[in-house]
A and B are shown apart, each in its own frame.
Chain A
Amino acid sequence: MEKQKVKAGIIGTGNIGTDILMKLQRSDVLECGIFAGRNPDSVGIRRARAMGVPVSTDSIRAIEENPQCCEIVFDATSASTHCIHAPILERLNKFTIDLTPAHVGRFCVPALNMEECLQESNVNMITCGGQAVIPIVQAITEIHPDTKYIEVVATIASRSAGPGTRDNIDEFTQTTRDALTEFTGIADTKAIIILNPAEPPITMHNTIYALIEHPDMDALCRKVREAEARIRSYVPGYKIVMEPVFENGRVTTSLQVTGLGDYLPKYSGNLDIINCAAIEIAENYARQKILGGGNG
């Protein structure tokens, strides 16, 4: 007998939503119950239809009218739209994974706070930049709680930033910074987002700077490598490209994220890291709260 799968709904049929859809095909606990957007001609809708996935162009209304279609919802619309969706999904009692920078629910980085997030009804995946750098930043501040200042620079290929990301560039920048402060407790943080249009497109690139008076470089390198290994368990293309170095009075380290190439090409590591993280939390929720937990 085929194993029972939990149904997940996806709202938003752009780059993020369509990539999630592709990734769900590989899941052994999740399947797509509804793929809903607003644009009947979107590439995502056409592709989903061809795959035999239930689609709708009624966006969230599709879930309101047929709440049985899913138990978990991925919201890949936009920050302002998610603010409208959040109370509706709460009322429908759906575990909601917000992939916009709306920050309605708790910030979620699976490598750091999975268990706490499973107790929530709405979790926010911060931003792709946030998913990429926060585990490393956290590793640095764990070795050096005396870190005075943290700054991150996320550079992504223009072609991997869809209209949603562009329309939300302000929330994107602000939310990444807010999450840095929340996860490290350091008040003085900064997030910089750069779009690079070079052809062929560049792979997602992130740099982390830290101001630390007497950095223990060996311990930092070791800890950063450990964090890298942990993230690679759910984002295989995650790689430190420059180990922490001490130059010009600052600790600097950089990493790149190569995507799996599910929907957009491999340079779109930004899509992969946020989507892999979202799937990770969704699968854990499905296993622990729905399939397992003694009531399944």
Chain B
Amino acid sequence: MAKLMLFDSTLRDGNHAVRHQIRKDQIEDYCLAMDGTGVYTIIVGHGNGLGASSLQVGFSRLTEHEMLETARKNLEKTKLGAYMIPGFGTIRDNLEPAIRDGVEVFTIGCHCTEADTTKQHIEFLRKKGKEVYGVLMMYHMASAEKLLEEARKMQSYGAMGVILMDSAGASTPELVQRSISTLYEGLQIHVGFHPHNNMGMAVANAYTAYLEGADIIDGTLRGFGAGAGNCQLENVAALFEKCRIKTGIDFYRMLDASETVMPELMGREMGQEPLSIVSGQAGVFSAFKIPVQKAAEEFQVDPRDIFYELGRRKVVAGQEDMIVEVAESLSRPAGGSGNINYQLESLL
């Protein structure tokens, strides 16, 4: 089996959990603590990636340039990474500046059925000599065959690997098994998995993905991330080593970073609090949690109803504008779709 690569998205996906308010000194401390620990790349930026700082998904405290430059200055051994979803960012406004800021590894994402929207960006970055991986978000919404078809497109554009992102934390182990093994058998490039922890399965799902052929696991320290959080990299390192799978991780240094830097960075513990469990079960992007809570308060409606209604409407990542519209319609007397029992609906 190929050598395992751990992608560290703490300073990207973690930004969701603090409404994109990560500070400069926190980026410095994190990079210093994690540089050279053996993670393949440290991905930095707004939670939704380059170009995403917006009213739709939240403004970040720092500009992209400030975040990337700060990380660049504090990384010597580990590669600096960035994420971008075409439709949020563009080549001129975001990728070219990120290259100038010294980003070496790019992950380019899209909804799992829309791989052809990544063609321009993957090809552009490959021409610039950068490492590029494709990311298929909300992968639970497509069949394994469809995922393979989309991943093959990314492969044809020059992607060096394709990562399935469990953006809603809606994975069952069987789904991981089926999807990853299909990709592993059908692709010539790396296969990766990015789990979320809404149903408490992130590390287990990462392990299943590895057994089925994935050699990239994308997670965060302490599981810092949107909603219920991500796949905790300390757990992955511990479990995989115990299973005699080499991770190349300096385990004590990783644990030290977890202990010294993370409490301050996170502000609170991650975990499966009730609303995140609902979002996972409804199959809605984990990062919708905070805006859903805000809208529920603003319009005096049950946030769980908002999640189930969003799930019913099959919204995808990036459609945060639907939250306000759903909350507003639920708040009307005969609101939304009448008297739907959302909890029952979701289970049918």
Chain A residues with CB under 8 Å of chain B are 149, 151, 153, 155, 158, 163, 166-170, 173-174, 177, 190, 192-198, 202, 205, 207, 209, 211, 241-242, 245, 247-248, 250, 252, 254
Contacts and interface: CB of A to CB of B under 8 A. Distances in A.
Contacts of B315: 196, 198
Interface stretch (B111-119, B202-210, B215-223, B230-238): B111-119
B18 interface: no
B117 A198 contact: no
A245 B114 CA distance: 32
Contacts of B90: 170, 173-174, 177
B91 A194 contact: no
B246 interface: no
Given A174-B90, A242-B328, A248-B298, A158 B114 contact: yes
A270 to B, nearest CB: 13
Nearest to A154: B87
Contact of A166 (B117, B313, B324): B117
Contact of B116 (A163, A209, A250, A252): A163
B93 A198 contact: no
A195 B111 contact: yes
A194 B328 contact: no
Nearest to B119: A167
B260 interface: no
Main secondary structure of the interface of A (DSSP, over half): strand
A169 B86 contact: yes
Contacts of B194: none
A192 B121 contact: no
Interface string B310-327: 000111101101101100
A192 B46 CA distance: 15
Interface string B81-123: 0000011111111000000000000000011011011011100
Given A190-B54, A242-B328, A247-B324, A197 B113 contact: yes
B313 A198 contact: yes
A132 B187 CA distance: 40
B98 to A, nearest CB: 14
B298 A247 contact: yes
A167 B116 contact: yes
Contact of A198 (B110, B120, B314, B318): B314
Interface string B130-141: 000000000001
Given A155-B321, A169-B87, 19 more contacts: A149-B55, A151-B56, A155-B319, A158-B114, A166-B116, A167-B120, A169-B117, A170-B86, A173-B89, A177-B90, A192-B54, A194-B316, A195-B111, A196-B316, A197-B141, A205-B321, A205-B322, A207-B56, A245-B328
B294 interface: yes
A127 to B, nearest CB: 12
B257 to A, nearest CB: 34
Contacts of B87: 169, 173, 192-195
